Amino acid sequence: MEITRKEENGVVFIAISGRLDADSSPEADKVVKEVLEGPTDRLLFDLGQLEYLSSAGLRVLLSAAKEMKRRGGKLVLCSLNAFVKEIFEVSGFQSLIDITDSVEAGVAKLA
Amino acid sequence: MATNTADGESILLVDDNPTNLQVLYQCLEGVGCKLLIAKNGEMAISIAAKALPDLILLDIMMPGIDGYEVCRRLKSDPKTADIPVIFLSALGETGDKVKGLQLGAVDYITKPFQPDEVIARVNTHLTIHRLKQEIEQRKDELEHELEVVSAVQRRLLPKQLPVIGGFQLAVRYETSRYAGGDYYDLIGLADNCWGFLMADAEGHSTPAAVLMAMTCALFRAYPKAASDPAQVLHYLNEHLCKVADPSFITALYAVYDAGRQTVKVARAGHPLPMIYHAAEKKAEELACPGVFPMGIEPYEDPIPVAEAQLQPGDRLLLYTDGLTERFNEPGEAYGEQRLLQQLGTDVGDDPQEVLAAIIDDVQRFAGAHPADDDQALLLGIVS
């Protein structure tokens, strides 16, 4: 798994690629927590290069979504591949977290 | 310098030269350890095995077995393998040092030595050795605790399956390299109906086990007849929301009516149930919209309930995702398609045999790659 972050116009972008599973989710969780220590209230996850997501990975994203909700912010997941999208559908998480097809649509959603 | 040494620690000094031994002895008298002495290699090995010192200072050039050989033998005996060895030698070439370190020594001091340097290095290695032992001990304690947790978890599962007329049941529960949070349960309801719960607490080890135990306790304390799948999940979720954060529990609750051979299912983030229709020789997932997993937030919308009519020979499979997310070496998951295909494979109508064939197929697929998650499977075949 690779995780990178940047901030542009008040939006924090977190890109996660590869496999987000039980082995890699502690590292992702650490990065997300670091971001959430800041005052950010708009968070975009670019999952375009994410190949696999396990329930441990879902927990990382869920924790971030809960925190953003708590602070009245917005969070969006973008560019999920078909496999990852299906995980969100089957697990019912798509009703808890906003998902868009592209990063551009995600940015628009956060505006 | 004795401040960071613990009571009862000992150091074994090995040198064939009495003068060297004496100098070393005087140099280390102040570190607060019991000092043992060996004048040759044989003696060193025998004392080390008996006294199990916390550190060994070992000369290399000695008559009989030399220091390298002593080190090699100490490292090959599990009893003495973990005792740190520092070579103390007049051989000062890089090659000599490398050879010593490659044999498993932790350090190499060249003679003639500076007493302060020897004391400092001895103290450092004693500290490392002590911390290592503490970590080992903590690890053993944790492993023991996990074994206890696993044993308790096992006892929470039903001891035996109910006998249902016209519906043969079988179950498998495969544990993984981490203790997981899978849970299943079966209860008898009125009017020849039966409730099957399949749940999976996210995560591993103790946190998952605690949530699994909570789910079990809540389910068994359900105040009414658990005959409405949506109500059961509503109730479990309401209570799990108070304790699960930041984790969650996926679950599926099915009510089987043995008289009418129908099944009603509600689903919270859990993999879809699978049905093999014998007449059409076709296995498919039971379309069941479902809600998000339990323990996150209350369900505001009604939980959808899906229903299916079964016929003789049909198979109903409930399972946890440890099965479909079992990976092989190239990193490919077993997946729903393979499971559907295997569920429809003709291996007779004994549910035990059908489950055994599924487990075998998953095992064959995964090869040497270990299971990352528990796998629970509950299968019923209409007779």
Q: Please, what's the b/e burial string for B14-24 (b: 16 or more CB within 10 A of its CB; e: otherwise)?
A: bbbeeebbebb
Boundary-marking domain end, from B137, B167, B202: B137
Q: Does B89 touch chain A (CB under 8 A)?
A: no
Can the peptide bond before residue B312 be classed as cis, meaning omega within 30 degrees of 0? no
Q: Are residues B175 and B115 in the same domain?
A: no
**Are the beta carbons of B283 and B343 closer than 8 angstroms?**
yes
Closest residue by Cα to residue B166 from B184, B186, B187, B193: B193
Interface probe, candidates A1, A19, A23, A55, chain B, greatest B C-beta count within 10 A = A55
- CATH assignment of the domain containing B14: 3.40.50.2300
Boundary-marking domain end, from B105, B137, B169: B137
Q: Are residues B273 and B301 in the same domain?
A: yes
Residue A77 CA to residue A99 CA, distance in Å, equals: 5
Task: Give residue B237's pLDDT.
Answer: 98
| Chain B residues with beta carbon closer than 8 angstroms to that of A52 | 331, 333
Q: Does B204 touch chain A (CB under 8 A)?
A: yes
Number of domains present in the structure of chain B: 2
Q: Are residues B236 and B352 in the same domain?
A: yes
Q: Are residues B176 and B297 in the same domain?
A: yes
| Chain B residues with beta carbon closer than 8 angstroms to that of A66 | 245-246, 296
This complex has an ipTM of 0.88
Query: Chain B closest CA to A85's CA: distance in Å?
Result: 14
| Chain B residues with beta carbon closer than 8 angstroms to that of A63 | 246
- pLDDT tens digits for B30-87? 898 999 999 999 999 999 999 999 999 999 999 999 999 999 999 999 999 999 999 9
* Residues of the domain holding B90: 2-137
Please, what are the averages of pLDDT over each run of 10 residues along chain B (383 residues)? Answer: 58 95 93 94 96 96 95 96 94 88 94 91 95 94 88 91 96 79 95 97 87 95 94 97 93 98 97 97 95 96 96 97 92 93 94 96 94 92 96
Q: Where are the beta strands (DSSP E) in chain B?
A: 10-14, 34-38, 55-59, 85-89, 107-110, 167-174, 182-188, 193-201, 249-257, 262-268, 274-277, 282-285, 306-309, 315-319, 375-382
| Chain A residues with beta carbon closer than 8 angstroms to that of B291 | 92, 95
The arithmetic mean of pLDDT across residues A77-82, rounded, is 96
Interface probe, candidates B248, B272, B319, chain A, greatest A C-beta count within 10 A = B248
Task: Give residue B8's pLDDT.
Answer: 83
**Are the beta carbons of B278 and B350 closer than 8 angstroms?**
no
Q: Are residues B216 and B128 in the same domain?
A: no
Q: Are residues B249 and B119 in the same domain?
A: no
- pLDDT tens digits for B118-143? 999 999 999 999 999 999 999 999 88
Residue position matching structure tokens 């960071």: B4
Rg (CA), chain A: 12
| Chain A residues with beta carbon closer than 8 angstroms to that of B297 | 96
Q: Are residues B162 and B283 in the same domain?
A: yes
Residue B168 lies in a domain: yes
Interface probe, candidates A1, A20, A24, A91, chain B, greatest B C-beta count within 10 A = A91
Percent of chain B past pLDDT 70, that is, above it, reads: 97
Given an 8 Å threshold on Cβ–Cβ distance, is B296 in contact with A90?
A: no
Q: Are residues B333 and B239 in the same domain?
A: yes
| Chain A residues with beta carbon closer than 8 angstroms to that of B294 | none
Task: Give residue B178's pLDDT.
Answer: 64
Question: What's the gap between Cα B129 and its chain centre?
Answer: 26
Residue A52 CA to residue A65 CA, distance in Å, equals: 19
**Are the beta carbons of B153 and B346 closer than 8 angstroms?**
no
- Give all domains of chain A, ordered by start, each with its CATH number: 2-110 (3.30.750.24)
Given an 8 Å threshold on Cβ–Cβ distance, is A62 in contact with B204?
A: no
Residue B249 CA to residue A65 CA, distance in Å, equals: 17
